[in-house]
Chains A and B, each alone.
Chain A
Amino acid sequence: MSILVDKNSKIAVQGFTGKEGSFHSKQCLDYGTNIVAGITPGKGGIKYLGIPVFNYVKEAVKKTEINVSLIFVPPAFAADAIMEASNAGIEIIVCITEGIPVKDMMIAKKYLKKNNTILIGPNCPGIITPDECKIGIMPGFVFKKGEVGLISKSGTLTYEAANQIVKAGLGISTAIGIGGDPIIGYSYIDLLKLYEKDVKTKAIVIIGEIGGDLEIQAAEFIKKNITKPVVAFIAGQTSPKGKRMGHAGAIVAGNKGTAKEKIYSLRKANVTVVESAAEIGNTVKNVIK
């Protein structure tokens, strides 16, 4: 079992023939991901990497059976691509693009709500269910099949955590990068609900960072609703106030969004919080017994 995506997921890639889209689509195909359509406006009708290309999402939906869209469209057009996918009836959108203006995302999110579309990202590595499908840019070999659900705001830190979990003798049920932007789609709470129901997932790892209060909302939710053990790590304990740390959303504004307050909330919710990123793997092993 897994959450959101598995071997039956059928994927369309928006921005398929671009530089990023081409490179990562090929990596996904090599992993065994079932990409059935590519979308690049103006290039409809051709075949690329052996896959039919369409001009718009609706056309692809009509001619193939897609339920997931993976987006590599440049930032200026990415919010539009998200809304197009939603309009075409795609269930799950995974947006990798980094650098989408906040204002665009505000409007796109409103649109998604109207259509009940699930969005993962933007500015994220995507989603992977090991041995079944990789919908994103993560190195697939790091993720071995197993019993740990992983939710993270950061890319390389997701790989680091998965690597430690695998080295500790465990594996990943599904790993999801939710992205480091101020406005994102699915967040901790939405995914915690799914992991709680997934019989294969025995423990959940949350990786957060400074900025906003999604981790605090997650802590409140965990306290009331999650029976499975949760391990958390919050990056940015040493980050200075008022400085954006790489991710657009990673900023301590005034006294809000600090690692300290997030760690405090999570601990109060009985989450096992590790202070060193090197201890994620072993800590998960200890709580899962």
Chain B
Amino acid sequence: MNIHEYQAKSILNKFGVSILSGKLAVSPSEAKNAAKEIGGTKWVIKAQVHAGGRGKAGGIKIAKSLDEVEKISRSIIGMKLVTPQTGPQGKIVSKLYIESAADIKKEYYLGIVLDRKKEIPVMMASMEGGVEIEKIASEMPEKILKIDIDPLIGCQNFQARLLAFKLGLKKDQIKYFVKLSIALYKAYLKTDAILVEINPLALLKNNSFIALDAKMEFDDNAMFRQKDIFAMRDFAEENTTELEADRYGLNYVKLNGNVGCMVNGAGLAMSTMDIIKYQGGNPANFLDVGGGANEETVAKGLEIILKDRKVKAIFINIFGGIVRCDRIAKGIITATKNSSIKVPIIVRLDGTNVKEAVELLNKSNISKLISAYDLADGAKKAVKFAKEKNK
């Protein structure tokens, strides 16, 4: 799960990371009041969406008077922010974070990620602050400093000190940086984060450090013990169909093609998308209905897929293992018999009782149900029907 910058900052601050004073606002007048309460003569207005690259896209601006805060806020709220991370459809801005401005000496990068190869958290730092870390990693990997953290021991002072020296920091700065690094690791550990990033981390004129931006991502599997963190989930940031599918225990990801897919199991679901592409078509979605597919999941799955108006054919690909195919076939027949579904549904079942299942489908006399004898046959038929429907 991702959260907003203002939420990440408030979490990090609780663990001892310094931040500038700031307030959330959802309207221009609220923004103006927030700036007034924060005080000072210069403010930064930051669009709160779950995507990086906001500055370049016009989602972060500086204001030098309260009236200007209001004026800029009016122009940002409601705007469609398009950054490399949002995709071409962009994201509508509905929340702003108003923050006081600071005098910055230099910008750094500091973050902790899970290293899947080493199976431990790794702390990364760089003098190239404010630049996307992926960009530094691909263009000048030597500029990223890394320390391995043993999860049984935690991040030690000497490790953070090593980073500080390598970053070329001086006396007081080192002390401050070490404290900050330890605080950051604590935040990472205690919140079940899988990524925490301060980019840029700003060195101020008084030699202290401040998180100018912050990003945190959490392990969805830890939801059961991180209730406070997961209460921060902003549903407005997520695809509504994906959310609805989630409520029914279905795993759905929207794509841009016209062949809808319903599959049991994540690996087979990905492979089904791939084979549709391989056969010259384009998948409309990823949909994993889970190991035990039944009438209800089939009905709900079809409903979810058909919310996408682009879908011209649906490919149901289910490998019945412990779940018997004839039962799945019955579910498909019931779910499609009386509904208003107009698109052809190609059904490929395999596994337990597949013969009985195919007989049931053939006897059902539902013309939109088309039986396929294997994975390749099903994919070919689905692509063919989608193309015909498109004409």
B219-A102 in contact (CB<8A): yes
A276-B278 in contact (CB<8A): yes
Q: Is B119 an interface residue (CB 8 A)?
A: yes
- Which residue in chain A gives the minimum CB-CB distance to B267? A154
Q: Mark A235-254, 1 if CB is under 8 A from B, else 0.
A: 11111101111111110001
The answer for the CA separation of A110 and B276 in the assembled complex, in Å, is 41
Residues of the A chain whose Cβ atoms lie less than 8 Å from the Cβ of B117:
212-213, 217
- Which residue in chain B gives the minimum CB-CB distance to A98? B221
**B387 CB → nearest A CB, Å:** 17
A76-B225, A107-B152 known; A159-B270 Cβ under 8 A: no
Task: Pick the contact of B251: A103, A107, A242, A246 (CB < 8 A).
Answer: A246
A154-B267, A238-B255, A254-B134 known; A159-B221 Cβ under 8 A: no
The answer for the CA separation of A3 and B263 in the assembled complex, in Å, is 31
Task: Pick the contact of B267: A76, A101, A153, A242 (CB < 8 A).
Answer: A153
Task: Pick the contact of B278: A103, A182, A247, A275 (CB < 8 A).
Answer: A275
The answer for the CA separation of A94 and B86 in the assembled complex, in Å, is 40
Residues of the A chain whose Cβ atoms lie less than 8 Å from the Cβ of B120:
106
Q: Is B158 an interface residue (CB 8 A)?
A: no
Residues of the B chain whose Cβ atoms lie less than 8 Å from the Cβ of A209:
266-267, 270
Q: Mark A109-136, 1 if CB is under 8 A from B, else 0.
A: 1100000000000000000000000000
**B335 CB → nearest A CB, Å:** 20
A103-B286 in contact (CB<8A): no
A139-B222 in contact (CB<8A): no
**A24 CB → nearest B CB, Å:** 8
Q: Which residues of A in the span 138-175 have a Cβ within 8 Å of any Cβ on B? A: 138-139, 141-142, 152-160, 163
The answer for the CA separation of A248 and B347 in the assembled complex, in Å, is 28
A75-B224, A102-B194 known; A240-B271 Cβ under 8 A: no
A142-B351 in contact (CB<8A): yes
A246-B286 in contact (CB<8A): yes
The answer for the CA separation of A226 and B276 in the assembled complex, in Å, is 32
Q: Is B72 an interface residue (CB 8 A)?
A: no
**B318 CB → nearest A CB, Å:** 8
Q: Mark B119-154, 1 if CB is under 8 A from A, else 0.
A: 111000000000000100110000000000001100
Residues of the A chain whose Cβ atoms lie less than 8 Å from the Cβ of B379:
278
Task: Pick the contact of B270: A99, A182, A239 (CB < 8 A).
Answer: A239
- Which residue in chain B gives the minimum CB-CB distance to A137? B322
- Which residue in chain A gives the minimum CB-CB distance to B135? A254
Residues of the B chain whose Cβ atoms lie less than 8 Å from the Cβ of A36:
none
Residues of the B chain whose Cβ atoms lie less than 8 Å from the Cβ of A180:
266-267
The answer for the CA separation of A99 and B274 in the assembled complex, in Å, is 26
Q: Is the interface of B mostly helix, strand, loop or mixed?
A: mixed
- Which residue in chain A gives the minimum CB-CB distance to B113? A253
- Which residue in chain A gives the minimum CB-CB distance to B290? A246
The answer for the CA separation of A239 and B283 in the assembled complex, in Å, is 10
**B26 CB → nearest A CB, Å:** 27
B350-A160 in contact (CB<8A): yes
What's the interface size class on A, roughly? 35 or more
Q: Is B192 an interface residue (CB 8 A)?
A: yes
A157-B268, A275-B278 known; A183-B119 Cβ under 8 A: yes
A277-B266 in contact (CB<8A): no
Residues of the B chain whose Cβ atoms lie less than 8 Å from the Cβ of A110:
151-152
Residues of the B chain whose Cβ atoms lie less than 8 Å from the Cβ of A279:
376
Residues of the A chain whose Cβ atoms lie less than 8 Å from the Cβ of B288:
246
**A92 CB → nearest B CB, Å:** 20
Q: Mark B246-279, 1 if CB is under 8 A from A, else 0.
A: 0000010101000000011111111111111110
**B69 CB → nearest A CB, Å:** 33
Q: Is A210 an interface residue (CB 8 A)?
A: yes
The answer for the CA separation of A101 and B255 in the assembled complex, in Å, is 28
- Which residue in chain B gives the minimum CB-CB distance to A237? B274
**A235 CB → nearest B CB, Å:** 4
Task: Pick the contact of A102: B114, B251, B350 (CB < 8 A).
Answer: B114
Q: Is A255 an interface residue (CB 8 A)?
A: yes
A142-B321 in contact (CB<8A): yes
B116-A275 in contact (CB<8A): no
Residues of the B chain whose Cβ atoms lie less than 8 Å from the Cβ of A142:
321, 351
A152-B267 in contact (CB<8A): yes
B266-A246 in contact (CB<8A): yes
Residues of the B chain whose Cβ atoms lie less than 8 Å from the Cβ of A154:
265-268
Residues of the A chain whose Cβ atoms lie less than 8 Å from the Cβ of B267:
152-158, 180, 207, 209, 235, 246-247
- Which residue in chain A gives the minimum CB-CB distance to B87? A240
B283-A159 in contact (CB<8A): no
Question: Which of B222, B269, B271, B375 has most chain A Cβ within 10 Å?
Answer: B271
Residues of the A chain whose Cβ atoms lie less than 8 Å from the Cβ of B253:
240, 243, 245
B321-A138 in contact (CB<8A): yes
Q: Mark B225-237, 1 if CB is under 8 A from A, else 0.
A: 1000000000000
The 9 A-B residue pairs whose C-beta atoms are closest, nearest first, are: A154-B267, A246-B266, A156-B265, A139-B321, A157-B267, A278-B376, A277-B271, A235-B270, A254-B134
**A interface residues with partner B (beta carbon < 8 Å):** 27, 75-76, 99-103, 105-107, 109-110, 137-139, 141-142, 152-160, 163, 180, 182-183, 207, 209-213, 217, 233, 235-240, 242-250, 254-255, 259, 275-279
Q: Given contacts A75-B224, A139-B322, A277-B275, list 6 more A-B pairs with CB under 8 A.
A: A156-B268, A157-B265, A157-B268, A242-B85, A254-B134, A277-B272
**B interface residues with partner A (beta carbon < 8 Å):** 85, 114, 116-117, 119-121, 134, 137-138, 151-152, 189, 192, 194, 219-222, 224-225, 251, 253, 255, 263-278, 283, 286, 288, 291, 319-322, 350-352, 374-376, 379
A sample of 9 inter-chain contacts (CB < 8 A) reads A75-B221, A103-B189, A103-B192, A106-B119, A156-B268, A183-B116, A244-B220, A245-B270, A250-B266
